[in-house]
A = this chain, B = another copy of it.
Amino acid sequence: MTRQDTSGRRTTIYDLARLVDASPSAVSAVLNGTWEKRRISRKLADRVLEAADTQGYARNIQASLLRRETSHIVGMIIPKYDNRYFGAIAEQFEARARERGLFPVITCTQRDPDLELAAARELIAYRADCLVSTGATNPDRVTELCAAAGIRTVNLDLPGSDAPSVISDNEAAARDLTNLILDRGRDELGWNGPLLFVGGRASDHNTGARLRGFLEAHHARGLAVPDENVVTCGYAAAKAEQALGNLASLTSPAIFVNSTITLEGVVRWLDKQDKQYRFGCFDWDPFAALLKENVGMVQQDVDAMLDETFEVIESDDRGASVKRIACRLNVLNAGISD
């Protein structure tokens, strides 16, 4: 590979055309694979390809996309990369996009509604073919922006009302997790009372669905859940630690934790108490799974969610359908007691 001679300027199809003594359009056809259809001889094609190789030619996508109708760019906005769930979503999204010959662009919006819209606008400017908005605080606003630009959107993790959504079946999984914690609390601590629910915001769709599952499981056992047992103090670890500190006493030694972020604060606080406890968590983390007091973690099925997401993208579904994906409940530390 020799560096190009015309220093500064990058090699273009016009340079290659001059080199192999052909027209730019022939070069273009060879380089984008349409040369057989356009009846370019194999001889010329070979010459072009060799010249492109030795010159280190790289197609100017800007120019290419400007002329073509579709960009093959698929955008994703995602709140954070800092936990396994969103990390896995980002990775799987990329892998699936690449498999399909698409160019994935992922933007992390820090749970900031303004950043979400700015990111969406930017992806529109890049003429993305579609946009997946993951855990967006205001998915409908994003959909509105995109619709105006003719870009289809899919809501992932958090549903919207103007575009198809793919979400976990939070309610069912929360019901199962609640039952597991109740059973293990009874068997391992002799505690039959209602659980404590910690983390999330009550206004948040997913927290709402999980809370419903949590309450259903209690009702099915004839257990009432007092209001003070539901501590929706936000997701942040510090908030949870503080909120627990504000409780007069630990009303329940068995706890339903709404996310791994929250769990960090919960465990820090519990460790300072001098009581036995058990918890389960709605989210998966391999190290959290190693904690002895952890009876189970809900693992959302990221593979299935992204398969479904791309299926929706490739379908004509433009309505506000909601696909609910079942979660996996990992039962932990069974048969261990202290």
User: Which of A105-113, A130-138, A179-187, A305-313 faces chain B?
Assistant: A105-113
Please tell me if the beta carbons of B108 and A105 are within 8 angstroms of each other in the complex: no
User: Which of A143-151, A195-203, A216-224 faces chain B?
Assistant: A143-151
CA A267 to CA B287, docked complex, whole Å: 9
Query: A332 CB to closest chain B CB, in angstroms?
Result: 12
A324 CB–B CB distance under 8 Å: no
A121 CB–B CB distance under 8 Å: yes
16 sampled A-B residue pairs with Cβ under 8 A: A1-B148, A3-B148, A8-B150, A62-B65, A63-B66, A81-B90, A82-B84, A82-B87, A82-B88, A104-B107, A264-B286, A268-B290, A285-B287, A287-B287, A287-B288, A287-B290
Interface, chain A (partner B; CB < 8 A): 1, 3-4, 8, 10, 56, 58-63, 65-66, 71, 80-84, 87-88, 90-91, 94-95, 103-108, 110, 121-122, 124-127, 144-145, 147-150, 237, 260, 263-264, 267-268, 271, 285-288, 290-291
| Chain B residues positioned under 8 Å from A88 (CB to CB) | 81-82
CA A108 to CA B86, docked complex, whole Å: 14
Please tell me if the beta carbons of A4 and B148 are within 8 angstroms of each other in the complex: yes
Closest to A124 in B: B58
Please tell me if the beta carbons of A60 and B56 are within 8 angstroms of each other in the complex: no
CA A268 to CA B287, docked complex, whole Å: 10
CA A62 to CA B288, docked complex, whole Å: 45
Please tell me if the beta carbons of B60 and A125 are within 8 angstroms of each other in the complex: yes
Query: A240 CB to closest chain B CB, in angstroms?
Result: 13
CA A105 to CA B126, docked complex, whole Å: 12
Please tell me if the beta carbons of A144 and B1 are within 8 angstroms of each other in the complex: yes
CA A74 to CA B335, docked complex, whole Å: 52
CA A331 to CA B81, docked complex, whole Å: 26
Please tell me if the beta carbons of A149 and B66 are within 8 angstroms of each other in the complex: no
| Chain B residues positioned under 8 Å from A148 (CB to CB) | 1, 3-4, 56
Please tell me if the beta carbons of A59 and B125 are within 8 angstroms of each other in the complex: yes
Please tell me if the beta carbons of A62 and B127 are within 8 angstroms of each other in the complex: yes
Other-chain residue from B127, B147, B149 in contact with A61 (beta carbon distance below 8 A) = B127
Closest 8 A/B residue pairs (Cβ): A287-B287, A81-B87, A56-B148, A62-B66, A287-B288, A62-B65, A61-B125, A58-B124
CA A4 to CA B8, docked complex, whole Å: 41
| Chain B residues positioned under 8 Å from A58 (CB to CB) | 121, 124-125, 149
Query: A184 CB to closest chain B CB, in angstroms?
Result: 19
Please tell me if the beta carbons of A91 and B108 are within 8 angstroms of each other in the complex: yes
Closest to A336 in B: B271
Please tell me if the beta carbons of B94 and A107 are within 8 angstroms of each other in the complex: yes
CA A117 to CA B81, docked complex, whole Å: 24
| Chain B residues positioned under 8 Å from A290 (CB to CB) | 267-268, 271, 287, 291
| Chain B residues positioned under 8 Å from A144 (CB to CB) | 1
Closest to A104 in B: B107
| Chain B residues positioned under 8 Å from A95 (CB to CB) | 110
CA A267 to CA B291, docked complex, whole Å: 11
